[in-house]
Structure 1
Amino acid sequence: MSSSTRLYFGPWYRRSPFFESTLAAGCRAYDIYNKMYLPAEYDDPDVEYQALNEGVTLWDVGVERTVQVSGPDADRLVDTLTCRDLTRCAVGQGKYMLVIAPDGGIVNDPVLLHVEEGTWWMQLADSDAGLYALGVLARSGLDAEVSYPDVHPVQVQGPLSARTLETLVGDGIYDLRYYWCARFEVGDIPVVISRTGWSAVPGFEVNLLDATRGAELWDAIMEAGEEHGIRPIAPSEARRIEAGIFNWGSDITLRDTPFHVTGLERLVEEQSQDYIGKAALERIREEGVDRKLVGIAFDDGEPLPGIAAAWPASHEGREVGRVTAAVWSPGLERNIGYVWVPVALAAPGTRLSIESEHGILTGSTAAIPFVDPAKERPAQPLRAAG
């Protein structure tokens, strides 16, 4: 954003219960995501990256609008929406969910929480998956309800996140396993905490259940983390790309199926029950795909500030695809990103030339995730035994 450009705050975009707190904390740039304001920058990205990897950080992620599916047939409705087999998803458990269209395309990729018997929360990326679920329900004949509950998440991320939340909710925070959730109280503020996050470092998502108390929850978390040097940051683009986390709407869209995206093939799970798009996905499983989203590691160069629009990618003088994400990774000390290429060029090491707003760049396709492919870091024990 140039010095002559500004984002207008108007009533047509939603604000999270933490919006005023982010302003007071010095947020200096916002994005529009899911029809809401998303904090995009408080400090230099390298400073925020270091805080995330070494300490504890607080994010306003109210843009992850929560869609609730509830009622006697809620389990069946949710299972109909996804290629994941949810019949073994216990109460209190979460899943990374792909909402599937009839042709196999990805409608959304929310975190799904089975918060209680007959109640599920889809915490959404930037698409109208709630309206899609309403449409499916209307034609299903199932006894269920799709609604937008009073649920508003913030993320507490970083290796000192558990110690921060222990101050607020007690030792029970250490009992949460990776991708599980439970109810707690911060003082007298009711919350649901899940051990999830958009960073693939140890961390949590704290779901406020009363929108009128956003500032109170924000202040309580900041006070609890003060001794650990907590700081508000924006979602870290570098960290999410290192970890192989995708952004719906830019990296992946409704045109793409799980078989087109490196790492998502595993989520098309074998199951006896039907779901929307199953026939299409099973056909694609047999026939294969023509293109693939893979990593790209750029050759040595100045740190890239990010990407404003997709960049054309060429191989041996012929345009073959597009780069959807590019950013400087302080941890890897190089520029990395994602690129769509024909499946014949998807193996690591394929040389590419990229036409960017920063000039012609070069690099090679790469495996993703770039680091910690087994997700050992976010799933590690939060404190030593004994």
Structure 2
Amino acid sequence: MTDESAEIGDRLLPLDAWHRAHGARMVSFAGYQMPIQYEGIMAEHQWTRTSAGLFDVSHMGQLLFIGDAADAALEGLLPGDIKGLAEGRMRYSLLLADDGGILDDLMVTRRADAIYMVVNGATKEDDIAVLRDGLPDEITINHMEDQALLALQGPKAAAVLARLAPGADGLFFMEAGAFEIAGIPAWISRSGYTGEDGYELSIPAESVQQVATLLTDQPEVKPVGLGARDSLRLEAGLPLYGHDVDPTTTPVSADLGFALAKRRREERSFPGAERILLEREQGAIQKRVGLFVDGRQPVREGAMVLDGEGNEVGRVTSGGHSPTLERAIAMAYVPTALAAPGTPVTLSQRGKVHSATVAAMPFVPHRYHRKGSPK
């Protein structure tokens, strides 16, 4: 099977043949051939919200940092409290440029003998270059290209892993550990990108087809493509790097201030600290917000946000139809003065004007399995 959107030089995922055998429509994304859908985006979205969807995210970069004080060294590039991270705990963080712009958003986990990081697929080579340049020579960076990455997301994901990876269902949100699936080693975290309870599984690439088949053999699990992954993360209010976040945005303007750890703010010791902390105190010029869009037609990335006189004052960065809410939703950057929920705004897309209202995010409540939350 071929696809007209394939690009010369696209790399193939370890599960490429498996996806095609399962009826996937493949597209070019982040330099890879990836499945955008199997039976349909709407059906896959709803299945993930009610059961368990299996996503192949092996295009993401998996990195190991080995060496004494790797945590302290990483704090020279990230604004998170990496030194305070307990073993088996993970944290969302940001790779920052010297001016405070966001080079990537990522997840950091402390393993027993190393720091494990997952970065975005489209930026991983640039990230590795920045990290190699910014870390001391004593810190070894292992790009784990022999590992695949799967995400099992949805309210029935825990029941599935209780059968296949006993003990993994005991993890709470943002916890991780080493397990086995049918004798295959798996580093499993309770995390994901859909707003649902779920897991990410780092598996040896040579064994990932066996694991994917074991998972989809379970009645609760179906494979899900990039299309539903995008609609799910948009409903969850989660930004997509390169669209909602990029080097021109800061943690404050991107509404990611929670990634600025208190100790790090007090030390003022991360890249761009002066600019970022001034924005935190005084407010950024623009802010990422959610939008409810009137009417049935979604607005897409690039639509303009207009002021009362028709001047462009912001831009939509993600938009689409929400299958859960059955309405059009979007994310946009707007002047901070217009960022309060309930504020009406005007959008322009291809010459057509749309009315919208600033909405609190997430659009659909997160269902993470946090410690202390009911099962």
**How does the TM-score come out when normalised to structure 2?**
0.90
Corresponding residue number in structure 2 for 1:72 = 68
Residue 81 in structure 1 maps to residue 71 in structure 2: no
Residues 101-149 of structure 1 show CA distances to partners (whole Å, capped at 9, x for unaligned) of 1111111111222222333223335322122111102xxx452012311
- Counterparts in 2 of 1:151 and 1:78: CA distance versus 1, 3 Å: farther
Residues 54-113 of structure 1 show CA distances to partners (whole Å, capped at 9, x for unaligned) of 011111111211122211131112222211112221111111111111111111111222
CA contact (8 A) 2:54 2:221 kept: no
Q: Displacement, 1:380? A: 5.0
Corresponding residue number in structure 2 for 1:270 = 262
Alignment match of 1:340 (pick from 330, 333, 353):
333
Alignment match of 1:132 (pick from 127, 130, 133):
130
| Partner AA of 2:64 in structure 1 | Q
Alignment match of 1:59 (pick from 55, 58, 66):
55
Give the Cα–Cα distance (whole angstroms) in 2 for the partners of residues 291 and 384 of structure 1. 37
Give the Cα–Cα distance (whole angstroms) in 1 for the partners of residues 259 and 6 of structure 2. 39
Corresponding residue number in structure 2 for 1:222 = 216
Residues 166-206 of structure 1 show CA distances to partners (whole Å, capped at 9, x for unaligned) of 22112x02221111111111112211011011101011011
Give the Cα–Cα distance (whole angstroms) in 2 for the partners of residues 279 and 126 of structure 1. 29
SS at match of 2:238: coil
| Partner AA of 1:19 in structure 2 | D
Give the Cα–Cα distance (whole angstroms) in 1 for the partners of residues 336 and 26 of structure 2. 37
CA contact (8 A) 1:102 1:280 kept: no
SS at match of 1:109: strand
Residue 291 in structure 1 maps to residue 286 in structure 2: yes
Corresponding residue number in structure 2 for 1:26 = 23
Residue 186 in structure 1 maps to residue 176 in structure 2: no
SS at match of 2:75: helix
Alignment match of 2:156 (pick from 160, 171, 177):
160
Alignment match of 1:44 (pick from 24, 40, 45):
40
Q: Displacement, 1:270? A: 2.2
RMSD: 2.3
Q: Which 5+ residue runs of structure 1 have no aligned equivalent?
A: none
- Counterparts in 2 of 1:198 and 1:353: CA distance versus 1, 3 Å: same
| Partner AA of 2:13 in structure 1 | S
Residues 143-164 of structure 1 show CA distances to partners (whole Å, capped at 9, x for unaligned) of 2012311322111111111111
Aligned length: 365
Q: Which 5+ residue runs of structure 2 have no aligned equivalent?
A: none
Residue 378 in structure 1 maps to residue 372 in structure 2: no
Matches of residues 90-105 of structure 1 in structure 2 within 5 Å? 90-105=86-101
| Partner AA of 2:183 in structure 1 | D
Give the Cα–Cα distance (whole angstroms) in 2 for the partners of residues 357 and 211 of structure 1. 44
| Partner AA of 2:338 in structure 1 | L
- Counterparts in 2 of 1:29 and 1:205: CA distance versus 1, 3 Å: same
Give the Cα–Cα distance (whole angstroms) in 1 for the partners of residues 334 and 239 of structure 2. 16
SS at match of 1:83: coil
Alignment match of 1:237 (pick from 208, 230, 235):
230
Alignment match of 1:203 (pick from 198, 206, 224):
198
CA contact (8 A) 1:99 1:109 kept: yes
Residue 326 in structure 1 maps to residue 326 in structure 2: no
- Counterparts in 2 of 1:381 and 1:174: CA distance versus 1, 3 Å: farther
Residue 177 in structure 1 maps to residue 167 in structure 2: no
| Partner AA of 1:40 in structure 2 | I
Which runs of structure 1 show a deviation greater than 6 angstroms over 4 or more consecutive aligned residues? Answer: 381-385
**How does the TM-score come out when normalised to structure 1?**
0.88
- Counterparts in 2 of 1:15 and 1:258: CA distance versus 1, 3 Å: same
Give the Cα–Cα distance (whole angstroms) in 1 for the partners of residues 368 and 222 of structure 2. 18
